[in-house]
Chain A
């Protein structure tokens, strides 16, 4: 018995965690498929950027819309959810030193998700589903397209169930004592939101599947309501998973600490309670809903989920600052930032993700999700500008940063092309930031999203955009190419490491440092102990205090400038 148990676990030479083989293999499989989907999405991104950049206008109309469907599904759904499945297997059994419950069911649901993904992508590439990510009926795709999404969602729902089971197993078998770690708590938040989201997914796609077969009627407005309970809430799984990874990366890259468990955990609970209301963000200028419904839901009941993000926006950098101060980086307000390991892609990815998500994605998101301001924003380029900052610059970048630690810790490989890996977060983050800002700027001039021909050359009436739009398009094109290249570089590094990387052993670590992030190799020791720890804590994270007030200043400015712009247009109501 003991022997079979031993065969199922290895002890991680770096973290000392007991890693069970079943979970480890599941993490590997899900991460690999996630990267494959990222590759498909990134290749599609090249086509999209080079087409919307009117000076190049590469693809014909049908292939542009097909690539747009492919890009949306693979980036927003497949890449991110496969990766989140890996995060759940890590934050459950691995962090809790436990065994994997029901590994056979886990593999079956993985198979279901892969089949679903393949069916959807096949339908899109064969031209049977030119309906874009949202597939608003009565726009109709082949029934197999809806079936593929249902299979994928069922598989993902089972995996979230297995994560809940792993918490029960770990508790009952006493593989840890006390309360689960904060990172696992964040993953639990993501899993609960995922369960809510996937139930909405079933409510959306099962009727749509039956409608596509001709068995029932479908109301386009009800579809939009239910679809966004899936489409927007799935992005809130990302937010919770990303914040959990921020805490994870803060801890492993520089020894970041948790300032206060109560504050961080309560903020996660606010996500669970309020974040699903954000379906309303997409329905603010729809005919089917009244103003009271719109105001209450778009604000997540008085912005309580925004409050949660603003709390994490303090506690994540604050915990990093405190961790570094405890390790002796106490100089001035920002000594800890100046001395931080900016050459570690895990750390630089974390910090860029935090800044891009907060400053660019968060501020624009809350502003454009305001009921009335949405009138001057809905379906313009400002929308994709906003969510590329949150989902790509925030979530995807945090996943990439975490991968630089998963490769050595779980795959036990040195990261290949290490010098390239060091600059990859800057390439991707810089590209996304440039592109998103250009998109936001174009949107302010009324340029629509999801449009093949910005020159409207075949329309009955001419449309003349402000000349600055064409300059902005060039900046958009350059930013987009940089971002897509950054994603491609990440895929190359990840694939090369997994399949051809040099194995990492305790003996080889001493010989060469290449391909091992600093947090694994030489985390500086904590120099304070005992009561001194309390003293450092009491002096606080004063650099972070300055940063959050700069953030608030930007937020207030952007928010009220938008009200001002709104006040100039025609009276409407």
Chain B
């Protein structure tokens, strides 16, 4: 490349003199549009907090695994209505706090909920990290030992749902499936 072509050079060469030059108009246009798009991307999240129905905020608190297991046992005792495959089936009243336990390798207990009813679903673990994935809705939350994640939920359809563990939790990970029944 000849010396006269200084205005156009490759990224391999050191730059002489002042390179802080005006931005050509095509780049300027693209940068402006890209920046506006970035602001839209950003604005969507607070907007959904105000107007949307799905947010991962929840009630967040610390809890020791032993305390949480105790709460779950109390919850099961209070509202147990039957058994399914060796798991207690629990039917809490509308608006109740639900305590669901993740442990290697089961979701405990089986939940029986009513359609269009509000509950507060608490998630925590007795041992290591697990992943709450409500199937086939594809609603996913991280379950961390030592932390209580209380999410307000409102089922909008009835049916037979599964809870799949989607965080690796050891050799039995692929057997960790729970059940949620939603009735009309």
Check if A and B associate: yes
A449 with B140, Cβ < 8 A, contacts A258-B9, A460-B106 known = no
Q: Does A511 make an interface contact (CB < 8 A)?
A: no
Nearest A residue to B31, CB-CB:
A311
A-side contacts of B178, CB under 8 Å: 461
B23 in contact with A286 (CB, 8 Å): no
Q: Which residue of B lies closest to A371 (CB)?
A: B45
* A contact residues around B131 at 8 Å (CB): 378-379, 448
- Contacts A287-B148, A448-B166, A552-B37 hold; do A572 and B153 have CB atoms under 8 A apart? yes
Smallest CB separation, B151 vs chain A (Å): 5
What does the 1/0 interface line of A540-573 toward B look like (CB < 8 Å)?
1110110010001001100100010011011111
Q: Are A573 and B152 in contact (CB under 8 A)?
A: yes
B141 engages A285 (CB within 8 Å)? yes
- Interface-forming stretch among A296-304, A344-352, A392-400, A492-500? A296-304
Give CA–CA (A62, B173) in the complex, Å: 11
What is the CB-to-nearest-CB distance from B26 to chain A, in angstroms, rounded to a whole number? 5
- Chain A residue at minimum C-beta to C-beta distance from B65: A138
Report yes or no: B56 in contact with A284, Cβ–Cβ below 8 A: yes
B177 nearest CB across to chain A (Å): 4
The verdict on A7 contacting chain B, using a C-beta distance below 8 Å, is no
Question: When the two chains form the complex, which single residue of B35, B138, B152 contacts A569, counting CB atoms closer than 8 Å?
Answer: B138
Lowest 5 A-B CB distances belong to which pairs?
A: A287-B149, A448-B166, A251-B10, A182-B11, A303-B38
> Chain B residues with Cβ under 8 A from A542's Cβ?
26
A533 to chain B, nearest CB (A): 5
Give the interface centre of A264, A461, A541 by most chain B CB atoms within 10 Å. A461
Tell me if A221 and B26 are in contact (CB < 8 A).
no
The interface residues of chain B lying within 8 Å CB-to-CB of A377 are 140
Contact B147 A306 (CB under 8 A): no
In the complex with contacts A139-B128, A219-B146, A260-B14 CB distance below 8 A: no
B-facing residues in A262-288 (Cβ within 8 Å):
262-265, 283-288
A569 adjacent to B54 (CB under 8 Å): yes
Question: Does A154 sit within 8 A of B, measured CB to CB?
Answer: no
Residue on A with the closest CB to B15? A179
Does the CB pair B12–A251 fall under 8 Å?
A: yes
Shortest CB-to-CB span from B147 to chain A, Å, is: 4
Question: How far does the alpha carbon of A464 sit from the alpha carbon of B128 in the complex, in Å?
Answer: 27
In the bound assembly, the distance between CA atoms of A487 and B168 in angstroms comes to: 27
A3 within 8 A of B: no
Check B8 against A287 for contact (C-beta < 8 Å): no
- Tell me the chain A residues, 455-489 only, with Cβ under 8 Å from chain B: 456, 458-461, 463, 465-466
Residues of chain B with a CB closer than 8 A to A533's CB? 4-5, 7-8
Binds B, one of A101-109, A314-322, A331-339: A314-322
* A445 interface contact, C-beta 8 A: yes
A183 part of interface (Cβ distance < 8 Å): yes
Q: Nearest residue in B to A295 (C-beta to C-beta)? A: B45
| A156 contacts chain B at the CB level, 8 A cutoff | no
Specify which chain A residues have a CB less than 8 angstroms from the CB of B30 in the assembled complex.
310-311, 314, 545, 548
B55: chain A residues at CB < 8 Å are 291, 371-372, 572-573
Q: How far is the CB of A298 from chain B (nearest CB, A)?
A: 8
Which bucket holds chain B's interface residue count?
Answer: 35 or more
The contact of A287 among B44, B53, B147, B153, by CB within 8 Å, is B147
Which of chain A's residues 406-454 have a Cβ closer than 8 Å to chain B?
444-446, 448-453
A200: Cβ under 8 A from any B Cβ: no
Within 8 A of A (CB), among B144-184: 144-149, 151-156, 162, 164-171, 173-179
In Å, the complex CA distance between A448 and B168 comes to 10
A313 to chain B, nearest CB (A): 9
Q: Which among B11, B27, B135, B179 is the interface contact of A247 at CB below 8 angstroms? A: B11
B60 is an interface residue with CB less than 8 A from chain A: yes
Task: Count chain A residues whose beta carbon lies closer than 8 angstroms to a beta carbon of B.
Answer: 122
A61 to B155, CA, bound (A): 35
Determine the chain A residues whose CB is within 8 A of the CB of B20 once the complex forms: 261-262
The minimal Cβ–Cβ distance linking B131 to chain A, given in whole angstroms, is 5
In the complex, A531 Cα to B174 Cα: how many Å?
67
Bound together, the chains give a CA A182 to CA B19 distance in angstroms of 11
A451 to B23, Cβ gap below 8 A? no
A214 at the interface (CB under 8 A from B): no
**Contact: B133 with A380, CB < 8 Å?**
yes
> A259-B27, A451-B166 are known contacts; what are 6 more A-B pairs with Cβ within 8 Å?
A61-B171, A137-B128, A262-B21, A378-B140, A379-B140, A529-B5
B11 engages A258 (CB within 8 Å): yes
Give the residue among A261, A326, A448 with the most B Cβ atoms within 10 A.
A448
Cα-based distance from A449 to B166 in the complex (angstroms)? 7
Bound together, the chains give a CA A444 to CA B138 distance in angstroms of 8
Shortest beta-carbon distance from B12 to chain A in Å: 5
A506 within 8 A of B: no
Known contacts A260-B21, A261-B21: A307-B35 contact under CB 8 Å:
yes
Per the bound structure, the CA–CA distance linking A22 and B85 in Å amounts to 68
Q: Are B128 and A136 in contact (CB under 8 A)?
A: yes
Contacting pair A65 B138 (CB below 8 A): no
Q: Which residue of B lies closest to A140 (CB)?
A: B128
- A449 CA / B148 CA spacing, docked (Å): 24
Q: Check A460–B177 contact: CB distance below 8 A.
A: yes
Structural contact, B19 and A179, CB atoms closer than 8 A = yes
Query: Can you give 11 A-B contacts (C-beta < 8 A)?
Result: A139-B128, A181-B15, A221-B146, A247-B11, A257-B10, A286-B149, A288-B60, A375-B141, A379-B140, A545-B26, A569-B54
A303 and B41 contact, Cβ closer than 8 Å, known pairs A372-B48, A526-B5, A545-B30: yes
CB distance from A423 to the nearest CB of B (A): 27
Indicate which residue in B12, B24, B54, B85 contacts A259 across the interface (CB closer than 8 Å). B24
Closest to B61 in A: A287
Q: Within 8 Å CB of B155, what residues of A?
A: 570
Which among B19, B25, B27, B140 is the interface contact of A314 at CB below 8 angstroms? B27
- Interface pair A285/B137, CB less than 8 Å apart: no
B-facing mask of A231-260, CB < 8 A → 1, else 0?
A: 000000000000000011011100111111
Q: Which of A263, A291, A307 contacts B27 (CB 8 A)?
A: A263
Identity of the chain A residue whose Cβ is nearest the Cβ of B30 in the assembled complex: A314
Q: Is A366 an interface residue (CB 8 A)?
A: yes
Determine whether the beta carbon of A260 is less than 8 Å from that of B24.
Answer: yes
Q: Nearest Cβ in chain A — how far from B1, in angstroms?
A: 6
B90: A residues at CB distance < 8 A:
none
Mask, B113-141, CB within 8 Å of A = 1, is 00000000001100111010111111111
Q: Are A318 and B138 closer than 8 Å at their CB atoms?
A: no
Residue-wise interface mask of A (368-387) relative to B, using a CB-CB cutoff of 8 A (1 in contact, 0 not): 00111011111110000000
User: CB-CB contacts of B48-60 with A at 8 A, as 1s and 0s?
Assistant: 1100111111101
